[in-house]
Each structure stands twice: as C-alpha cells, then as structure tokens.
Chain A
C-alpha cells in the first residue's frame, strides 16, 4: 500500500479518540468500583457491585 497522509490522519482521528475513551472509561469504572467497595461492608460489597 502506498503511503497517503489523508489515510494516516483519518485512522489517527478514529483510533486516538476511541483509545482515549476506552482508557478513560475503564479508569473511571475501576475508580468507582473501588469507592463503592470501600463504602460497603465486606459481605455486601460483591453483591452490590453486581
């Protein structure tokens, strides 16, 4: 495949925001899971998270 900078830019414009969204959402998810686990008594934490 011959190099084309429009193609490179288009794929960067697609995968960079999607990658950032995936990483940010995963981090937020783990943070909120940890916070909820800390607030709940140990016996309830697993059940409440599910």
Chain B
C-alpha cells in the first residue's frame, strides 16, 4: 500500500493526465450546467433555489474527500519519507479550502430563502466550519517552520488528528437533531432523489472532482519545479562561494 512516489514519476503522470482531466472537467461542468438550468424543473418546495444544491453538494463532498485523501497521503509521507506526498498535501489544502468556503457560502445562500437564516450553529454547519479551520491551520502550520520537512511533519500530524472530524460531519445529521437535512444520496437504502436531480448532480460532482484533481496536479507540479529551481540556485551559490 505504501509505495514511494518520486517527483519525476509524478511529473510524468502530470504531463500525461493534466490535459485530459482539465478538458473532461470543462465538458462535464458545461453539460451539467446546461442540464441544471435548461432541463431540470424547479423543486415543488424549494422552487428555483434547488439549483444551488448542484454546486453546494459537490463542493461539500469534495472538501471532505480532499481532506480524507490528504490525511491518507500524510500517513504515506510519514511512512515512506517521500516529500512528494507532503507536497501534494500542501497543494491540495488550497483546493480543499476553496471548496470548503464555496460549500459554506452557497449553503448560506440556500439557507436564507429556505430556512430564513444565513447561519445556525447546528452540528453539520459547525463541523464543516471546523473543517475550514483545520485547512487554515494546516496551511499556517506548514508555512510556520523554516525547515519545510519539519513543517510537513507537524502538518501531517494535525491532518491525521483532524480526520476524526470527518465521521462527525458525515453522521452529525444522524447523531443530533439538526436543521440540516439528512443524507439524500449516500444512504444504505439507496439515493432518495428523483432522477431529474440525481443525474445532473452526479455530472456536476464528477466535473468538479476532475477540476479539483487538475488544480492539485497543476499546483503540485509548480511546487516541484520551484523546489528544483531553488536547488539549482543553491548549488550555483555554493560553487561560487566555495569554488567547488
């Protein structure tokens, strides 16, 4: 399970995958938007506001999924001592935080007309806000140390401890009496959504997932290139200073 991921292997993979994942994400999001705005009827209770859920729900799934993947990669980075895993985690944090903020903002924009309030301190909303704080904490912690390896290690521990928040988010609507409705898609007895809503939601989620994956590939490869440039500059500086 714990395999070594070298920066060169990552860059090879990125060069092959990035054009396809980006293009496919654009196609799927375009198709999803067409379906959401031209083929999906308004909901009998929520009216037009149901269309907000086609961006809110994928953003929520992604901020949870990216955090979970970061937790697993941190563990792999600690075990294999390969810096690539930590670099991917640091790049993913920005993308995960973006989707987390999108989830909170679009949720508020749905909550105001549906619940009559922008925000309530209910278990689901609060635990998702805590997830955003974990992302911010991780970004700050990894940038706090002069030694990037030290920062990556400390950040990895924070990520792994923060994984405890994921089941709380998922089952908060079951464990506590919340204003947020229970799960409609990932249920033991199957999705409770009409096909008119389920299919475009799936397409949007897939499109957003591929876009997030492309952004992470792009950001990670940039960081690897910057590290290489810094290493070459340091070598030149050493050669000029010591004449070796």
Contacts and interface: CB of A to CB of B under 8 A. Distances in A.
Interface of A: 1-2, 4, 6-7, 9-11, 13-14, 17-18, 21-22, 25-26, 28-29, 32-33, 35-36, 39-40, 48-50
Contact of B211 (A9, A18, A32, A50): A18
A3 B99 CA distance: 25
Contact of A29 (B42, B94, B221): B221
B19 interface: no
Nearest to A15: B55
Interface of B: 8, 11-12, 15, 37-38, 42, 47-49, 51-52, 55-56, 59, 94-95, 98, 101-102, 105-106, 109-110, 112-113, 211, 215, 218-219, 221-222, 225-226, 228-229, 232-233
A39 B56 contact: no
The 10 A-B pairs of least Cβ separation, nearest first, read: A4-B48, A32-B225, A10-B52, A14-B55, A10-B109, A10-B106, A25-B218, A13-B105, A29-B222, A39-B232
A22 B213 CA distance: 11
B229 A32 contact: yes
B229 A49 contact: no
Given A21-B98, A36-B228, A7 B52 contact: yes
Given A13-B102, A21-B215, A25-B222, 6 more contacts: A11-B55, A17-B98, A28-B219, A35-B229, A36-B225, A48-B228
Given A2-B48, A6-B109, A50 B229 contact: no
A13 B106 contact: yes
Given A14-B59, A17-B101, A7 B48 contact: yes
Nearest to A29: B222
B69 to A, nearest CB: 18
A43 B215 CA distance: 29
Contacts of B48: 1-2, 4, 7
